[in-house]
A = this chain, B = another copy of it.
Amino acid sequence: MMEPAGTPWKVLIVDDHEMVRMGLRTYLMLDARFEVIGEANGGKDAFETLARGGYQGQLPQIVLMDLMMPDMDGVETTRALLSQYPDLRIIILTSFLEDEKVVEAIEAGAVSYVLKTVSADELIYAMQGAIKNMPVMSSDVSQALTRGLRKRSASHEVEGLTEREREVLLLIAEGRNNKDIGDELHISIKTVKTHVSNLLMKCELDDRTQLAIYAHRKGWAKQG
């Protein structure tokens, strides 16, 4: 990825909040090194537009991507985009600092993870880092990253449950049914049932209600 002297880096903004897109555009208008070539209000929108040849035939080099979007998750979109366009530099923008999400985002190939509370200066600094493929993260974010990694490695040993089983367990602990869980995890209801059966066997319990209680007692459930 060579910088053509004098040519601004082409930026795509993906966020479902128009006012955030507007704010970002305003940020970047201040800096001649970047040019916003397009906006998308969701992951699907972004993906489809790129598949159709980009914005006025242009492909972005940098993508600023919101994490929480209604149609396609930012992490998921990151994975999808990078599988097609591996040279994209994707920066995740988010309001919340969730340890797991940070890990997922970086795993998905995002170069940086930036909180929406940052100033224009800090964002542009992160974007400059992105060009050089150098992650620029605040100490908050890097702490969350290491915490998330620790949690994950720790939870790998938890009760001999697999990653997937734990995901299913947490959703059960939220009161979701199998159909719901399948939709959430993008797997069939059959597979969900398999995981539930395995959970019941491993935890030596009789039904999903007991699983939900179990998770809450262990403090694994959200807002428990």
Tell me the complex Cα distance, A117–B45, Å.
15
Interface: A190 (CB within 8 A): no
Interface string of A16-49 (1 = CB under 8 A from B): 1111111111110000000000000100000000
Residue-wise, chain A 210-224 has the 8 Å CB interface mask toward B (1 for contact) of 101100110001011
A123 at the interface (CB under 8 A from B): yes
A95 at the interface (CB under 8 A from B): yes
Which residue of chain B is the closest to A41 with respect to CB atoms?
B117
Q: Which residues of B contact A24 (CB under 8 A)?
A: 19, 22-23
Flag the segment in A101-109, A152-160, A161-169, A170-178 that touches B: A170-178
- The chain B residue with its CB closest to the CB of A23 is B23
| List of B residues within 8 angstroms of A79 by Cβ | none
Evaluate contact between A209 and B206: CB separation under 8 angstroms. no
Which residues of chain A from 94 to 143 have a CB within 8 Å of any chain B CB? 95, 116-120, 123
Check A68 for interface membership: any CB of B closer than 8 A.
yes
Q: Which residue of B lies closest to A122 (CB)?
A: B18
In Å, the complex CA distance between A15 and B93 comes to 16
Known contacts A207-B177, A217-B224; A120/B22 CB under 8 A: yes
Using Cβ atoms and an 8 Å threshold, which residues of chain B touch A206? 175, 177
A205 within 8 Å of B (CB atoms): yes
Asked if A89 is at the interface (CB within 8 A of a chain B CB), the reply is: no
New A-B contacts (5) at CB < 8 Å, excluding given A23-B23, A68-B95, A175-B213? A18-B117, A18-B120, A175-B205, A175-B209, A216-B216
Interface residues of A, Cβ cutoff 8 Å to B: 16-27, 41, 68, 93, 95, 116-120, 123, 172-175, 177, 205-210, 212-213, 216-217, 221, 223-224
User: 10 A–B contact pairs at CB < 8 A?
Assistant: A16-B117, A18-B117, A18-B118, A19-B20, A22-B27, A25-B26, A41-B117, A172-B209, A174-B213, A217-B224
